[in-house]
Amino acid sequence: MFDLKKTILIYGLSLAVLVFLLEYFEYRYFVHELSTEVFVFLIAIIFTGLGLWAGKKLTNQTKIEPPPFEQNEKAIRYLKISERELEVLELVAQGLSNKQISDKLFVSVNTTKTHLSHLYEKLDVKRRTQAVEKAKSLKIIE
């Protein structure tokens, strides 16, 4: 949007300058040396280019944006989910077992289970699959 004014301005200026230059040179040099046909052709080319350029500028505010995952920090804070709990949650979402998670985080299975219990309470769910579902819908995890 902020580009629109600039684009229009540049386009207008270009047009004005061109008209001025053409008008200026027209009677003095070109008309007598170049045929009107060629002159018209040049004008056509130039303004086609300008049209293309302006069109591109005016429409290219449709930039393809691959939806970047934005973690819902607010939800995390609101639910008081701790850093460690989040780590566990992410690993659960990857389909890892409690044992595998524990090995990755260098803690005992008991610790992992404790984190999970707290997570279930905070997310108000009963099972890991539900936790993953809910966490994804809340954009707590990807």
Partner DNA sequence: ACGGTAATCACCCGAAAGTATGATTTTGCA
Partner DNA sequence: TGCAAAATCATACTTTCGGGTGATTACCGT
Tell me which residues touch a copy of itself (CB under 8 A): 15, 18-19, 22-23, 26, 31, 36-37, 40-41, 43-56, 59-60, 62, 64, 92-97, 125-134
Residue 7 near residue 54 (C-beta atoms within 8 A)? yes
**Residue 114 is a binding residue for DNA (CB under 7 A):** yes
10 touches which of a copy of itself, DNA, none (CB within 5 to 8 A by kind)?
none
Which segment (2-10, 11-19, 35-43, 103-111) binds DNA by CB under 7 A? 103-111
CB atoms within 10 A of CB 50: 15
Residue 79 near residue 122 (C-beta atoms within 8 A)? yes
Closest CA relative to residue 123, chosen from 82, 95, 91: 82
CA 105 from centroid of its chain's CA atoms: 33
Contacts with 15 (C-beta within 8 Å, 6 or more apart), sequence order: 50
110 touches which of a copy of itself, DNA, none (CB within 5 to 8 A by kind)?
DNA
Closest CA relative to residue 128, chosen from 136, 120, 118, 140: 120
* Token code pair at residue 133: 């579902």
Residue of 13, 21, 117, 124 interacting with DNA (CB under 7 A): 117
Which segment (30-38, 47-55, 59-67, 97-105) binds DNA by CB under 7 A? 97-105
We find the least distance from the C-beta atom of residue 133 to DNA, in angstroms, to be: 12
> Which residues in this chain contact DNA in the complex, by CB under 7 A?
80, 82-85, 97-99, 105, 107-108, 110-111, 113-117, 120, 126-129
